[in-house]
Amino acid sequence: MAYVINDECISCGACEGECPVSCIAAGDGKYEINADECIECGSCASVCPVGAPVAE
Ligand code: SF4
Ligand code: SF4
């Protein structure tokens, strides 16, 4: 289980600095979460303007 950033991501970068375990990075066309490191805190989802990070 981890959060995943869907295709709604507009690459604003707001989530990257909010992640307590620094597992978010810019990817190909959108930001991506390292599922092995995500602790499911939900901080990325709370700051995202388009609701792109979702719990899987
Ligand atoms: Fe990082 Fe928390 Fe988002 Fe997981 S849910 S990517 S730990 S901010
Ligand atoms: Fe993408 Fe949302 Fe993160 Fe911005 S805050 S980079 S739109 S997932």
The tens-digit pLDDT sequence of the chain (56 residues) is 899 999 999 999 999 999 999 999 999 999 999 999 999 999 999 999 999 999 98
CA-10 nearest atom, ligand 2: 7
Which of left, alpha, beta for 21 (phi over 0: left; psi -120 to 50: alpha)? alpha
Indicate which residue's Cα is closest to atom 4 of ligand 2: 12
Instruction: Report the C-alpha gap between 13 and 53 in whole angstroms.
Output: 12
Q: Looking at the CA of 3, which ligand is closest?
A: 1
Instruction: Report the C-alpha gap between 11 and 13 in whole angstroms.
Output: 5
User: What are the structural domains, with CATH classification, of the chain?
Assistant: 3-55 (3.30.70.20)
pLDDT at 1: 84
